Amino acid sequence: MIVQAKTDPAPGQAASTTVVECQGLTKVFGGLLVARDKKVCALREVSLSVHQGQIVGLIGPNGAGKSTLLNLIAGLIVPTEGRATVCGHRARSVAARRNLGFMPEHPVFPGAYTARAVLRYHGALLGLSSQVIAHQMDKSIERLQMQEFIDRAASDFSQGMKQRLALATAMMSDPQLLLLDEPSNGLDPVGIVQLRDLLKHLRDTGASIVISSHRLGELEKLTSDYLFMHRGQIVNIGDRVAASKAGQLRVELVSGAEDLARRVLPAPKVLSVTDKELVIAVSDPEEVPDLVCDLAKAGARIMSVLLQRENIEDVFLRLCNEGT
Amino acid sequence: MRAYELIKETFLRRTFIWIAHLSWLALYGLFWWLFLPDAEQFGGFLFLFSGFFLPLALSAGIFGDDIASGRICILVTKPFWSGQLYIYRFLGLSLQGALHIALTGVLAFALQAFMRKGSVEGLGMWLVASWLLFNTCAALSTSLSVVVGRSFNSLLLLVVIVTGWFVTNLLMGFLNAETMTGALTNFIRYACPPFELLRKFAGGEYEKFSLTVGRFSVTKSLACVVHCLMLTTAYGIAGIVILCRREFSRVRD
């Protein structure tokens, strides 16, 4: 199933502008000399749009096409078919690059440069004046708590320090779109909280952020929209509401749960059953009273009922299982 | 600002670069100190080492390193034409070459003045020719580094040029009477790095032609310089086109 992902703008931003627009993006890796059966289709007819002030989380198992999608939007690779635009400009064009900040999964900095020199270097590459660079540098140092290591060689940095510096370089020009590939890699818990607060602040100031991450718990605290990718396609567009509505109803009985499940419930609803416990899938909490009532009417002697709602991690695992 | 930062970064790119510079300078010093040859040998040695081998070492993997480390992903997402990246990287290399060759000249003159043997007459022309050849070879190697990973580009270039030179000489020996030889010679002379023409230019072999200034024919010498610059530009344009069209990630996560 191919889902045309048109993620909704954040509440109160209904009339906001579209920052990223992808239409039918397909990417096949393998050149002219590569045999057709050896070519890899990393992305298949993906369509999505990201609005101003929106944070979108890209989730999916390894090899799902998340980084390929980010790279296509960043203009690092060109689509085999389809089209991607950033702020109305074709991805890869200079005008599109002017509006985006990109943070790769493994940031690398020039040779023996200090963090300060790295920031100055990136500011210069962005075409900023010395005064603006100095101002942005001060802002980044403060926001990302880099005071302690700003004058140390970036090559000696820990992964967490590198991530902070990479994020600072991506934010140097206050871009409208931030593309972040695994931004919390290597960050300590304090750093993760700071990153979360910073990204929320950026969203509030109107920046759009697309994050590819495997840290689903962190993503859940940060984003309002998810795109679940699998085998190069967007197979589900989840949001926090949908994720929190679905869940499992765990019913503890005196006995006879297996017989009861067979008589009362449709097979797909029953997730697991033993003599004394019944686990039922629910898509909405409002189903629970009716379910409990049906079970009681069928003669069930219920000892306890517990509703466990799905978090984004459960959704991810469920979708992975469905996908495979 | 952007140009300055990119040229500076090219200059300070790797520690290996400074080792290459110092080793080369020590090599010239040792050779000239031991042999104190005449200007032709002085220049020929410099021409081969700083004009051909040095650019191969300095431009080894200049983009290959960026691509392999992933730094290129940052560079090409910045809001400027990717061709600028090539041009500034190349200018950084050319500046390094100019500095190296200038230091070599100072070293040669100092040694000659100190030892009072040998000759440095016309060494200035050899220095210019070396720098021109440096630029052409650097452009070729830099363009190759956009396609070939790491430092293999220089090795590849070295093997291709040396093998090509031997094969061509053999062919010419066997096919001297054939008309093909002329076309092949012209192709090598005008499309490949201009070793022969620059060597003649630096050695003052154009003095027999009219419009001479001192030992040199102005028109022939100018033509030689223009030809060399055109080749550098052509190799550079090829590199820029490839760089602008290239994709920089094959990650499928």
List, in order of start, the domains of chain A with CATH numbers.
5-239 (3.40.50.300), 246-323 (3.30.70.920)
**Distance (Å) of CA B61 to CA B55, B142, B148:** 11, 7, 8
Residues contacting residue A96 through CB under 8 Å, at least 6 positions apart = A75, A85, A86, A87, A89, A90
**Pairing state of beta strands A247-253 and A302-309?**
antiparallel
Write down the ipTM of this complex: 0.81
- Say what the pLDDT of residue A237 is: 65
**Distance (Å) of CA A120 to CA A116, A128, A142, B4:** 6, 9, 16, 12
Share of chain B above pLDDT 90, in %: 21
Say if CB A312 and CB A224 are below 8 A apart. no
A98 contact residues in B (CB cutoff 8 A): 79
∠ Cα B247 B240 A105 (to 5°): 35
- 3-state SS, residue A309: strand
DSSP state of B206: G
Q: Which residues pair with A5 in a beta bridge?
A: A48
Chunked into runs of 10 residues, chain A (324 residues) has average pLDDT values of 47 66 90 77 90 89 87 92 92 91 87 89 92 91 86 86 90 91 84 86 90 82 81 72 68 83 79 85 82 85 83 70 62
Q: Is B78 on the interface with A (CB under 8 A)?
A: yes
Say if CB A49 and CB A23 are below 8 A apart. no
Q: Is B68 on the interface with A (CB under 8 A)?
A: no
- Which residue did the predictor score with more confidence, B215 or B75? B75
Q: Would you call B74 and A108 a contact, using CB atoms and an 8 Å cutoff? A: yes
Q: Would you call A67 and B74 a contact, using CB atoms and an 8 Å cutoff? A: no
Say if CB B84 and CB B10 are below 8 A apart. no
Residue B210 pLDDT exceeds 50: no
**Pairing state of beta strands A225-230 and A18-29?**
unpaired
Q: Would you call A110 and B12 a contact, using CB atoms and an 8 Å cutoff? A: yes
Among A193-202, B12-21, B175-184, name the one with the lowest average pLDDT: B175-184
Q: For B253, which residue in chain A has the nearest alpha carbon?
A: A63
- Say what the pLDDT of residue B187 is: 77
Q: For B67, which residue in chain A has the nearest alpha carbon?
A: A108
- Say what the pLDDT of residue B251 is: 47
Task: Please give the single-letter amino acid code of residue A140.
Answer: S
Nearest residue, CB atoms, A29 vs list B70, B76, B252: B252
B248 contact residues in A (CB cutoff 8 A): 71, 76-77
- Say what the pLDDT of residue A215 is: 80
**Cα–Cα distance for residue pair B132/B47, rounded to 1 Å:** 10
Task: Give me chain B's average pLDDT, please.
Answer: 82
- Say what the pLDDT of residue A118 is: 92
Domain ranges of chain B: 2-245
Q: Would you call B251 and A78 a contact, using CB atoms and an 8 Å cutoff? A: no
∠ Cα B149 B152 B156 (to 5°): 125
The full 3-state SS of A92-124, as one line of letters, equals CCHHHHHCEEEECCCCCCCCCCEHHHHHHHHHH
Q: Would you call B253 and A63 a contact, using CB atoms and an 8 Å cutoff? A: yes
A125 contact residues in B (CB cutoff 8 A): 2, 5-6, 75, 78, 80
Q: Would you call B253 and A66 a contact, using CB atoms and an 8 Å cutoff? A: yes
**Averaged pLDDT, B41-47:** 81
Task: Please give the single-letter amino acid code of residue B175.
Answer: L
- Those residues of chain A whose CB sits closer than 8 Å to some CB in chain B are 29, 40, 42, 62-68, 71, 74-78, 94-95, 97-98, 100, 102, 104-112, 120-122, 124-127, 129-130, 169, 212
| CB neighbour burial string for B56-71, b if at least 16 within 10 angstroms, e if fewer | bbbbbbbbbbbbeebb
B5 contact residues in A (CB cutoff 8 A): 120-121, 124-125
Q: What are the structure tokens assigned to A42, written together? A: 């990393």
**Cα–Cα distance for residue pair B241/B238, rounded to 1 Å:** 5
Q: For A42, which residue in chain B has the nearest alpha carbon?
A: B252
**Mutation site, A108, A120, A121, A231, interface B, largest B CB count within 10 A:** A108
- Say what the pLDDT of residue B211 is: 45
**Pairing state of beta strands A225-230 and A55-59?**
parallel
Q: What are the structure tokens assigned to A304, written together? A: 């306890």
**Cα–Cα distance for residue pair B111/B134, rounded to 1 Å:** 23
Q: Would you call B79 and A107 a contact, using CB atoms and an 8 Å cutoff? A: no
Say if CB A245 and CB A286 are below 8 A apart. no
* Residue pLDDT, tens place only, B140-170: 989 988 888 666 777 788 888 888 878 877 7
Task: Please name the helix (run of DSSP H) or strand (run of DSSP E) that holds residue A270, with its range, or none.
Answer: strand A270-273
B242 contact residues in A (CB cutoff 8 A): none
Nearest residue, CB atoms, B74 vs list A98, A104, A129: A104
**Distance (Å) of CA B74 to CA A122, A182, B80, B220:** 9, 15, 12, 45
Nearest residue, CB atoms, A100 vs list B77, B248, B253: B77
**Cα–Cα distance for residue pair B177/B21, rounded to 1 Å:** 45
- Say what the pLDDT of residue A323 is: 58
**Cα–Cα distance for residue pair B57/B137, rounded to 1 Å:** 10
- Say what the pLDDT of residue A8 is: 53
**Cα–Cα distance for residue pair A119/A172, rounded to 1 Å:** 8
Task: Please give the single-letter amino acid code of residue A81.
Answer: E
- Say what the pLDDT of residue B232 is: 95
Q: Would you call B78 and A125 a contact, using CB atoms and an 8 Å cutoff? A: yes
The full 3-state SS of A117-152, as one line of letters, equals HHHHHHHHHCCCCHHHHHHHHHHHHHHCCCCCCCCC
